[in-house]
Structure 1
Amino acid sequence: MKKILLFLILGFLMISSAFGRQSQVKEPTLEEKIGQMLMIGFKGFEVSDTSHIVRDIQEYNLGGVVLFDYDVPTGKAERNIESPDQVKLLISQLNDLSETPLFIAVDQEGGRVARLKESRGFKPNVSAQYLGEINNADSTRLYAEIMAEQLQDLGFNVNFAPVVDLNINPENPVIGRVERSFSPDPEVVVNQTSIFLEEFSEHHILGVLKHFPGHGSAWNDSHVGMADVTETWQKSELEPYRQLIEKDYNFAVMTAHVFNENLDPEWPATLSQKVQTEILREELGFDGVLFSDDMQMEAIRSFYGLKTSLEHAINAGVDVVVFGNNSVYQPDIVPRAVQIIKEQVEKNNIPIERIDESYRKIMELKKKLNI
């Protein structure tokens, strides 16, 4: 009888202890949820205690960072990427700062847009246009596998690629002219992209399709001004997204800073609920994580204030707001953004449900990526 009583007491104590541990799991604050919705760039080949990135991760629960090889404000190839060993160490240092897994992102498309360059000891790559023109599945898989393996080995888990913009305007200064599009043919784009997404998934890399709802027909560069595609955009530019969503690959989507009066007469795509929720979410059925394009690009920064752009981007459906800190450099962008978003939630200009929805999507994706 005494043994039975002892077992019962021990069992009760174990259950009580487990319940106590569960009750101690703290619900994240509003500020911590907002922090997960931000991704920023910073300067430095290594983490130093004086860098704002330390503060942003440890005090604001920053959700992600993006690394660059070239620093635009200074015009020097001195930013975050110097060599494979250095990048691997930097990413390890960043991860050590955070209790919550970080998105570690890079723009490694291949060709002209490759932050990991062969001249610095990284593996060779080719442009999307090159692969689309030869349109050979084996060749594409070879380069996709090389890219995915390298990204995984270095510690990245997000790649802002592949580009699924159709090459409608070959003279487009930021797509066609720099060989970032696989093809003007949606079928070629889908086939090429599918191979990259398969290899990325195999290596726990999140591919991010860009730029929704299509940047391939533009005549100007959204880095330096608003790209108006009202007269040039074609509905076929949605086709890669439609088909890839139906294939049920694991990927995210990035918005485009383009204005199309026929889709939304007031707001550019990144800030448009009509584009990001009604078309991408509801019409096409995308339920994954949506990244903004860099919010410091001229197309957004010069036309809209920070408060307006944050409010409308989040309400449009953006889950992760990206500040590359590489058009302008703003070391205080994270505390400013967190404060603005918090105030907009408190004023009911951004529903708390939008924050909770984005936070849930982000955390579920990080778990799915096994990071």
Structure 2
Amino acid sequence: MHRIFIAAAIIISLVFAGCSGRHRSRSAPNMEEKIGQMLMVGFRGTELAGDASILEDIRRRNIGGVILFDYDVELGKPDRNIKSPPQLKGLVSRLQSAASTPLLIAIDQEGGTVNRLKEKYGFSPTYSAEQLGERDDPAFTEKSGYDIASTLAEMGVNVNFAPCIDVNVNPDNPAIGSRGRSFSADPEKVALHGRAFAEGLGRGGVLSCVKHFPGHGSAYNDSHKGLTDITDTWTQSELVPFRSMIESAAADMVMTAHLVNTNIDPKYPATLSEKFLTDILRGELGWDGVIVTDDMQMGAIVQEYSLSRAVRLSINAGADILLFGNNLHYEPDIAEKTIAIITEMVLNGEISKGRIEESYQRIMRLKNSL
């Protein structure tokens, strides 16, 4: 009888544990597992073998997310993660099935030129931010966001690194204006359409991520390729869309930019700057959600900083998720290396345990909102 009682108790406890979600860790996460949640990593492959490095990162290192691309920049060919809707859906399912904590599956699907799910792969056409701004119909912009979210949700993708709310200060900007990625040169109009697009994504069940804080629209060069200085071109008006998105609770995440403005921080670009991320974004604008970095392998970072220094500065500045696209330069062990670096810094006091815990809790709150 006693054995029956014990067996029944075990069964009941397992049932209740299962009710808390499809993915559940067997025990409380340790420090390394919490650090793993702070990484989002890109990988190669439209299908994955059981020993694929990204699956090892998910299973053994508890990384928090992945980012998908259709084009491999380092190899210079359109052979990365996306071939067709059925293939992509299967790939995303494979990734999620390896995770004990649900993954953030992210993509850059702004519409227009920044469009990973292209018509040639069997996906629906999209509108660029510039086209939506010129049409100037917020309801249509909201529907465009919803249509994109519906496609992403069908594939299992739950994060869209959009909308781009950079103000089109410099139309010749090689990263923003010349690519049709800005809604307008009017900050209020950018805010209006940014909110509408994000609301459409939310209605479709996908998290939004506004970018690129504090505003990339006035730059004269591209931070993918090297140091980008906006000291003489940036103005406070470029914060208007970010303030609006935060005050209206339309944004789910904020992405930083690797931009230098020596009037605000004479030493570091925004991604690595406590003055930008903690003082302005969290303090002045009141953002308490997840901050994700732009790709930490961009030229603006790797040409100026070692991996360990960039990681330490970005986390201490206030970043919660470090993004390694693994596309400009492919490093299959980037997650393993970065987790080891952060763990060592926590042990020697260069990064506090409290700073890791803050980010972990923000990430968990975001995941619980899905």
**Is the Cα–Cα contact under 8 Å of residues 69 and 77 in structure 1 kept in the other structure?**
yes
Q: Distance in 1 between matches of 2:49 and 2:93?
A: 13
The amino acid that maps onto 1:345 is V
**Is the Cα–Cα contact under 8 Å of residues 46 and 91 in structure 2 kept in the other structure?**
yes
Structure with max Cα Rg: 1
Deviations 1:319-363 (A, max 9, x none): 000000011000110110000000111111111101000001101
Q: Distance in 2 between matches of 1:100 and 1:281?
A: 27
Deviations 1:140-174 (A, max 9, x none): 23322211110111110000000000000000000
**Is the Cα–Cα contact under 8 Å of residues 210 and 251 in structure 2 kept in the other structure?**
no
Corresponding residue number in structure 2 for 1:107: 108
Tell me, which stretches of 5 or more residues in structure 1 are unaligned?
1-5
The amino acid that maps onto 1:303 is E
* 1:152 and 2:153 correspond: yes
Overall identity of the aligned pairs, in %: 50
Q: Distance in 2 between matches of 1:149 and 1:293?
A: 25
**Is the Cα–Cα contact under 8 Å of residues 36 and 362 in structure 1 kept in the other structure?**
yes
Corresponding residue number in structure 1 for 2:22: none
* 1:355 and 2:351 correspond: no
Q: Secondary structure at the match of 2:323?
A: strand
**Is the Cα–Cα contact under 8 Å of residues 107 and 114 in structure 1 kept in the other structure?**
yes
Corresponding residue number in structure 1 for 2:66: 65
Q: Distance in 1 between matches of 2:218 and 2:305?
A: 24
**Is the Cα–Cα contact under 8 Å of residues 147 and 204 in structure 2 kept in the other structure?**
no
Corresponding residue number in structure 2 for 1:141: 142
Q: How many residues align?
A: 359
Kindly report which structure 2 residues correspond to 1:48-87, keeping only aligned pairs within 5 A, or say none.
Answer: 48-87=49-88
Deviation at 1:18, TM superposition (A): 5.8
Corresponding residue number in structure 2 for 1:3: none
Q: Secondary structure at the match of 1:265?
A: coil
* 1:330 and 2:341 correspond: no
The amino acid that maps onto 1:76 is K
The amino acid that maps onto 1:286 is W
The amino acid that maps onto 2:363 is I
Q: Distance in 2 between matches of 1:25 and 1:88?
A: 27
Q: Distance in 2 between matches of 1:141 and 1:36?
A: 31
Deviations 1:210-229 (A, max 9, x none): 00001100000100001000
Kindly report which structure 2 residues correspond to 1:188-267, keeping only aligned pairs within 5 A, or say none.
Answer: 188-267=189-268
Q: Distance in 2 between matches of 1:259 and 1:76?
A: 31
Q: Secondary structure at the match of 2:340?
A: helix
The amino acid that maps onto 1:164 is I
Q: Distance in 1 between matches of 2:109 and 2:26?
A: 37
Q: Distance in 1 between matches of 2:139 and 2:246?
A: 23
Q: Secondary structure at the match of 1:109?
A: strand
Corresponding residue number in structure 2 for 1:320: 321
* 1:284 and 2:310 correspond: no
Q: Secondary structure at the match of 2:369?
A: helix
Deviation at 1:138, TM superposition (A): 3.2
**Is the Cα–Cα contact under 8 Å of residues 201 and 250 in structure 1 kept in the other structure?**
no
Deviation at 1:176, TM superposition (A): 0.2
**Is the Cα–Cα contact under 8 Å of residues 108 and 160 in structure 2 kept in the other structure?**
yes
Q: TM-score, normalised by structure 2?
A: 0.93
* 1:343 and 2:351 correspond: no
Tell me, which stretches of 5 or more residues in structure 2 are unaligned?
18-24
Corresponding residue number in structure 1 for 2:20: none
The two structures, once aligned, show a CA RMSD in angstroms of 2.1
**Is the Cα–Cα contact under 8 Å of residues 45 and 80 in structure 1 kept in the other structure?**
yes
Deviation at 1:25, TM superposition (A): 5.6
Q: TM-score, normalised by structure 1?
A: 0.93
